[in-house]
Amino acid sequence: MLSGRVLVGYGSTTVVRSDEDQQLYRCVSRRRTGRSICGDHVRFSLPQPGEGVIEEILPRRNTLSRTNYRGQARPLAANIDTVMVVLAPEPSPDADLVDRYLVLARSLSVKPLLLLNKLDLAADHDAEESRLLGEWRRLGIESRQLSAKTGFGLDILEQDLAGTTAILLGQSGVGKSSLINALIPDLPARTQALSEASGQGRHTTTETTLYPLDCGGALMDSPGIRILRLAHLTQTELEAGFSEIDALAEHCHYRNCQHLDEPGCAVLDATATGEVSARRLASYQALCRERQTLQP
Ligand SMILES: Nc1nc2c(ncn2[C@@H]2O[C@H](COP(=O)(O)OP(=O)(O)OP(=O)(O)O)[C@@H](O)[C@H]2O)c(=O)[nH]1
Ligand SMILES: [Mg+2]
Ligand SMILES: [Zn+2]
């Protein structure tokens, strides 16, 4: 029996990198174990050379999932230490989507980090950072300044990545794959090896994929999405993702206040004074409504 980590899953087929010899193996799952996903630690057998069978998925420390249109949680990746949300001046950030990525990070109990990429497009880096990330920075969320194109900031990012498993999330076109490309010099050879091992044809970023880094860490690339539903999370998990709302909720008149239109709502009062951003509250309320609509 061998042990390894799943680099990418395509339905019932996965590519596993062996811990023993770092070779890639195409593996199929058994019905008993269920489907393994990117980032899983697994044990697998090799009944015939080059074709493995996953015998065991080791317990997941956390699972990153999104809700599909039918309200079911769809797991995308597992065992994540850091959620890195990539933003850029172009395409300009979708603030509600960023909030959702932050809720997702919180639900995994991991620290989020905002990566502001493409800073080669901005003359004043700090001004661009406060313009685009100001509202989250004020909430205490950390950020890094980067350019995948020039390599600016990559040294600091490498320090953040050392020894951890991080996932890059963010809307399409912000430069997630470009950052991976800039961090991994032999990426073309690795992509080629993945394609050969998977037997799925050319490897693309339509599936979340884990890249082991030389610094001992691992970085996952994920496809950009326009809609991130989070209806599988509990009301408490949604609220925990909005720390400023969560902190005020205990002062609401009703213990189960949803901060919609209830009398004595401390959160609504705080938006009236500007202490809580009306945009953030609307973003939270949209998540609550979506949850109520999609919950079976
Ligand atoms: N100027 C500039 N352009 C960049 C930078 N990083 C990426 N780009 C460009 O932005 C475009 C999108 O980059 P990708 O890396 O494919 O973006 P992505 O986030 O992986 O997009 P999806 O895979 O669709 O989610 C490409 O044309 C890149 O060349 C950067 O630091 N500066
Ligand atoms: Mg990409
Ligand atoms: Zn309230």
Per the prediction, the chain carries an average pLDDT of 94
81 three-class SS: coil
Give the pLDDT score at 279.
Answer: 97
* Rg of the chain in Å (alpha carbons): 21
The mean pLDDT of 29-39, rounded to a whole number, is 93
* E strands, 176-295, in order: 209-212, 218-221
Q: Report the C-alpha gap between 279 and 258 in whole angstroms.
A: 16
Q: Give how far Cα 247 sits from Cα of 137, 252, 266, 282, Å.
A: 17, 10, 10, 17
Give the pLDDT score at 171.
Answer: 96
Q: Please, which pLDDT band fits residue 234 given cuts at 50, 70 and 90?
A: very high
Helix, strand, coil tally for the chain in percent (to 5) = 30, 25, 40
Asked if the model's pLDDT at residue 188 lies above 70, the reply is: yes
Q: Give how far Cα 196 sits from Cα of 19, 24, 52, 186, Å.
A: 19, 9, 15, 16
Q: Is this model's pTM higher than 0.85 or not?
A: yes
Q: Report the C-alpha gap between 222 and 83 in whole angstroms.
A: 11
Q: Report the C-alpha gap between 79 and 41 in whole angstroms.
A: 8
pLDDT tens digits, one per residue of 111-155: 999 999 999 999 999 999 999 999 999 999 999 999 999 999 999
Q: Is the peptide bond before 49 cis (omega within 30 degrees of 0)?
A: no
Bridge-based pairing state of the strands 142-145 and 73-78: unpaired
Q: Please, which pLDDT band fits residue 223 given cuts at 50, 70 and 90?
A: very high
pLDDT tens digits, one per residue of 190-200: 988 988 888 87
The mean pLDDT of 265-273, rounded to a whole number, is 96
Q: Please, which pLDDT band fits residue 201 given cuts at 50, 70 and 90?
A: low
User: Ligand 1, from 125, 145, 178: best to mutate by most atoms within 8 Å of Cβ?
Assistant: 178
174: Cβ below 6 Å to ligand 1?
yes
Give the pLDDT score at 202.
Answer: 65
153: left (phi over 0), alpha (psi -120 to 50) or beta: left
114: Cβ below 6 Å to ligand 1?
no
Q: Give how far Cα 147 sits from Cα of 48, 92, 165, Å.
A: 45, 15, 21
pLDDT tens digits, one per residue of 45-85: 999 887 899 999 999 999 999 999 888 999 999 999 999 99
153: Cβ below 6 Å to ligand 1?
no
Give the pLDDT score at 296.
Answer: 62
pLDDT tens digits, one per residue of 74-112: 999 999 999 999 999 999 999 999 999 999 999 999 999
Q: Report the C-alpha gap between 80 and 207 in whole angstroms.
A: 16
What are 218's strand-pairing partners?
Answer: 165, 212
Q: What spacing in Å lies between the alpha carbon of 134 and ligand 1's midpoint?
A: 22
Q: In one letter, which amino acid is 152?
A: F
User: Nearest-CA neighbor of 65 among 14, 100, 21, 22?
Assistant: 100
Q: Report the C-alpha gap between 6 and 218 in whole angstroms.
A: 12
* Residue minimizing CA distance to atom 12 of ligand 1: 173
Q: What spacing in Å lies between the alpha carbon of 224 and ligand 2's midpoint?
A: 7
* Residue minimizing CA distance to atom 13 of ligand 1: 175
Q: Report the C-alpha gap between 204 and 188 in whole angstroms.
A: 12
| Domains of the chain, each with CATH number or no CATH | 2-57 (2.40.50.140), 63-221 (3.40.50.300), 235-294 (1.10.40.50)
Q: What spacing in Å lies between the alpha carbon of 263 and ligand 3's midpoint?
A: 8
Give the pLDDT score at 145.
Answer: 98
